[in-house]
Structure formats: C-alpha cells, structure tokens
C-alpha cells in the first residue's frame, strides 16, 4: 500500500500497477483491423496500424515539448536560466525525429503486395488527416501560403469538424518561428557606443569579396566564359550582402520570398553565428543549430516517407486522393521553415577577417564568477 506524500496526511491507496498507469487495457485494444471487420484478416495490417499509432504518440510528445519552448519564448524576457531547458527540449525533439525515420524501415519490412492485400480497406483515410502533424507544422511556423493544395482545396479540407477547428486555430497562435524572431530582434551587442558592428563588417566583407574577385580575374586556368559566369555569381552575392546592410533591400527580398526573418532578426542571427565562441552567445548559437536540425529532421522524414510510398504504390494516387509519392516529394521541398538560418553561411567570413569587438562588448559577454 502507498502512503501519502511527505508532509501530508497518510492515505492508504492501492499500489499503482504498471498496466493501469500506462492504460494498457485501452492502448493494446486500440488496433482494430479493417480487414478483420470485413471477414478476411490480413496479417500485415496490424503492423501498419501499430507503426502509425506510434507516430501519433511521438507527434504528441513533440507537441508537448514545443508548447513548453513556445511558453518560455513567449515571455517578455527569456531568462538565461531557461535556455538550458529550451536546448534540452529541442534536442529531445531531434532524437524523436530519428525514431520517426527509423520507423519507415520497419514499415518497409512489409512488401508492396502485402500492402495491396488490405490497402483498399483504407479508402478514403489518409496520413494527410493527421491533425497532430499539422499542429506540429503550424506551431513550428509553416504558413498556409507555404503549403500545397490537395486537389485544389486547402489542407484542412480533409479533416472532420473538430480537427479542422483545432488545426485552423493553431494558425493564429504565435509559432516557434515568430517567437524566436522576436527574441532575436532583442539581441544586444549589435551597436555599442561609438562602435557600429555593421559598418565594420561591411568593410570586411567588401575587402573579402574584392580579394575573391581578384583571384578569379587573375586565374589563368579559367576560360573567358568561366570567368564571366563566376564574376556574375559575385554580383549576385554582392546584392545579397547589400540587403544585409539595407533594410529597404531586405524588405524587397522578403516581398520576393527570398527572406522571411525580419532585418533585425537576420542581422542578429548572423552576429550570433559569427561570434558564437563568445560565452554569452554559445547557447544562442546552439539554439539556432537545433532549429536547423529540426527543420532538416522533418525534411528527411518527409523525403523518406515519400520514397517509401513510391516503393509501396509506385505512382498511383494515395488513399486520400493525392498524387501519392509525387505530392509528398514536392511538399518536402516547400516545408522548410528556418531557411534563413541555412542561408547565413553565405555571409560568413574567416575568423581572421571578423571585425574585432570592443573590449566593453567582449567583457559583457563573458561569464563572471566571484570566489
């Protein structure tokens, strides 16, 4: 018998039983085969159900972690003490994503013929109706305009009324992208008294690009056509750099769909990446890395899923009426959320060329311990 918690009145309670705690009676009875209902049990339908139910449990856990991260970043001030928690939770999501990909291999132990034995029983149900995964996408920051339409209809059209309502409501909530953007916009250190980081950085970038241009122009191994092509690339790169320093040009890139982060947030992310060795920026840099890891994890899973579907049904339509593997492949290409963070590498320069930070900024970024 269990006695009450320390300091409470002793209460005699029945011992907590493993199966009761996990509600295994409900969990293990939740696999109802449509083929069995039709009077012709197909063995591999059990695997299909278990794998997809496991997916939904992992989606639930991802949402649980994301909601806590969003709660922390939704505060006016994000306490440094909370950054360790955020990083830990995001890292947990990346580990769960590895399991999502691995489960595809388990599903592929079922052959295409095995799947065809029960596939017709599944119409018109489809993975597109996973409301939890749509919540994951929306809360992470996927926008309605980023999505592909399904048969010309919005992605919510295949949901029942309850799921449609909850998914639509999540579009109105601040996403992880929104909250991280606001957090980046509050980054200090970018301007400090008489030191303007961006003026110094712009000068260093110009010198680096001019040096690279000289290498191309003086390279005797390049043909005239190759030189022209590479110099044109330099011009394109220079335009991107100009947008980094000019808010109006950045806004033009946003309007053209080439940038999503605000100008201030993009600059802050680049500053953090350039000076990530500074103690005060190490946690922030780890955060940006993990956001890219999560983006990459879902992209990998989407592509892996598309290849599995191609293997199982070829170019047939999906049970939900989509173009099957082709739809999934295109969806994977359009579903990146933190693309701006990937693009930061375009603007990096060698450590030796970085503008030295003033002593006051360096001092403010250090961890200080007093004995």
Mean pLDDT by 10 residues, the chain (371 residues): 53 82 97 96 97 97 98 92 95 98 95 93 87 96 86 84 95 97 86 69 81 84 87 78 88 91 95 91 96 96 89 66 63 85 88 82 70 49
Q: What is the rounded CA–CA span in Å between residue 163 and residue 156?
A: 8
For residue 356, the model assigns a pLDDT of: 83
For residue 1, the model assigns a pLDDT of: 45
Question: What are the residues whose beta carbons fall under 8 Å from the beta carbon of 118, sequence distance 6 or more?
Answer: 33, 34, 35, 42, 44, 45, 48
Q: What is the rounded CA–CA span in Å between residue 215 and residue 219?
A: 6
For residue 36, the model assigns a pLDDT of: 96
**Pair 208, 202: CB distance under 8 Å:** no
| Cα-based distances in Å from 73 to 136, 261, 283 | 17, 16, 14
For residue 321, the model assigns a pLDDT of: 46
How many Cα neighbours within 13 Å face the side chain of 244?
26
Look up the pTM and report it.
Answer: 0.86
CA dihedral sign of residues 90, 91, 96, 101: positive
């Amino acid at each position: 018998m269990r006695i009450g918690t320390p300091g409470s009145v002793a209460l005699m309670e029945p011992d907590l039983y493993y199966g009761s705690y996990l509600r295994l009676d409900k969990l293990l009875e939740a696999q109802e085969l449509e083929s069995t209902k039709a009077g012709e049990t197909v063995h591999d339908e059990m695997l299909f159900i278990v794998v997809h139910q496991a997916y939904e449990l992992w989606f639930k856990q991802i949402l649980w972690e994301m909601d806590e991260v969003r709660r922390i970043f939704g505060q006016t001030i994000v306490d440094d003490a909370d950054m360790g928690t955020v990083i830990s939770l995001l890292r947990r999501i990346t580990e769960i994503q590895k399991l999502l990909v691995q489960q595809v291999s388990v599903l592929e132990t079922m052959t295409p013929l095995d799947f065809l034995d029960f596939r017709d029983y599944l119409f018109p149900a489809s993975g597109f109706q996973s409301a939890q995964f749509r919540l994951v996408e929306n809360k992470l920051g996927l926008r309605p305009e980023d999505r592909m339409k399904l048969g010309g209809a919005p992605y919510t059209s295949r949901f029942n009324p309850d799921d449609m309502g909850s998914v639509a409501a999540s579009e109105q909530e601040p996403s992880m992208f929104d909250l991280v953007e606001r957090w980046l916009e509050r980054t200090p250190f970018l301007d400090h008294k008489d030191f303007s980081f961006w003026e110094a950085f712009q000068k260093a970038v110009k010198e680096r690009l001019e040096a690279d241009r000289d290498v191309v122009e003086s390279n005797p191994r390049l043909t005239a056509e190759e030189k022209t092509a590479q110099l044109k690339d330099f011009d394109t790169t220079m335009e991107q750099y100009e947008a980094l320093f000019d808010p109006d040009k950045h806004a033009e890139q946003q309007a053209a769909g080439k940038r999503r982060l605000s100008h201030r947030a993009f600059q802050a992310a680049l500053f953090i990446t350039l000076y990530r060795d500074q103690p005060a920026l190490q946690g922030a840099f780890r955060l940006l890395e993990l956001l890219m890891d999560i983006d990459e994890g879902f992209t990998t899973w989407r592509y892996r899923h598309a290849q599995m579907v191609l293997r199982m049904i070829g170019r047939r339509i999906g049970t939900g009426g989509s173009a099957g593997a082709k739809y999934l492949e295109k969806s994977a290409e359009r579903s990146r959320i933190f693309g701006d963070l990937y693009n930061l590498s375009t603007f990096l320069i060698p450590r030796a060329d970085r503008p030295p930070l003033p002593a006051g900024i360096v001092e403010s970024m250090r961890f200080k311990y007093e004995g």
